[in-house]
Structure 1
Amino acid sequence: MTAPVRRPGPHADEPHRGGLNDRLNSLRAGVLGANDGIVSTAGIVVGVAGATTERSAILVAGVAGLVAGAMSMGAGEYVSVSTQRDSEEALLARERRELAEDPEDELAELAGLYVEKGLDPDVALEVAGQLTARDALGAHAEAELGIDPDDLTSPWRAALASMTAFTVGALLPLLTILLVAAQARVWVTMAAVTAALALTGWASARFGYGPVRRAVVRNVAGGLFAMAVTYAVGSALGTQL
């Protein structure tokens, strides 16, 4: 018995909605920002806690690290994504010019790309012609450049996601170490950071379709190593000052 032919359309378990690139980039910036906020701020406050038990010193260092880190993450993300977007817009402008000046060669070029992907030349030319008639720039940009002209990444959205996530991530170790008694604050902070890093590792793997266990172990191990090093440095300096 012949299996029924499935109607054309996207797979239900895979994302094919418009604007996916921008959303995924914001998600990437958010997860990265949260992870950096947790690790860098935890490293600062644990390092200072290794040198002194003064709550005010830990607060000042933690808040300074939070503000500086959030600003740095936002600015870095904005510059990086703006550079990427400038390059994409320049490539799209060139493609528009080529389509206007030599549409026949561009059609042949697009068909050739589909032939390279395995289509019969006649079928490739028919597909290229239909796609060009519907949206010439979109068809060429997707096939030649891997760019969706309607889904360019927003620098401001990526910067805001990164700054917000960094701040939220940084607040966890900062508040934990300030609210817990001096004799237990380092260990409780390490435990809280471990749980938070496991969560961000899971999120990055879950939304990026990667292996969860590897991401969690990598995240947690890196964060614990950073805290251990900064605590050791703070303790060593604290005995000398």
Structure 2
Amino acid sequence: MPRSAENQLGEMVETVVVGKHRVCVGAEGQQALEQLEARLARAAGIAEPVQLVVIDSKTANALTLPGGRMVIMRGLVQRVGSADQLAGVMAHETGHIARRDPVVALFRGAGIGLISATLGVNLGFVDVSSLAGRLVGLSYSRDMERLADANGVAYLQASGLRSDGLAGFFALTEKREGSASAAIEFLSDHPRTDDREKRSQGSPLGESALTAQQWAAVRGMCAKP
């Protein structure tokens, strides 16, 4: 898929994914996340800036969309135990962006013929709602997930950040998985959490992803005005 078409598709799909959710605002928190993601993207060799948005959804999840877009949901920000754990999840998602996994998985799931025929005519005729539903429900292969985990840890290390946040997030999740109410969408249909924790140990050495002030600003982005 040409980059121009991927970017246009990503913009259209993001509109549907965000939907009726309120976009969380807060200049300091948004800037902190964008600066963090810029460091990760640079380590990943991603040339264009990653477009990042936080939405007011209780779902504990983060999504990557075509065209280098990342959607972080309030539920995930509230669920993680620290800024470094959020950075670990963001680094994992950056791994998907670097390898264009959303597009690859979309082609595999919907069929190359269907997507090619649709995009080959005119993006204006794409059933964006259908494609958005497919993207939200994407189940990456285990190899994709393991590689995104490994690359995410590598991006953190290359950025000079502590790289044990992803493993910490998995450990936190493992403790909470006993009850249905504690289920975390980010982990659904993914490889076993304990396996991922062992493979994503990383190191406590390095800078923290955000300062205490920045983390407070991120946590307050979805506060009701």
Same fold, judged at TM 0.5 (above): no
Quick one: higher RCO (CA 8 Å, sep 6+), 1 or 2?
A: 1
Q: Which has the higher helix share?
A: 1
**TM-score category of the 2 structures, normalised to the smaller one:** under 0.3
Per the normalisation by structure 1, the TM-score is 0.23
Per the normalisation by structure 2, the TM-score is 0.24
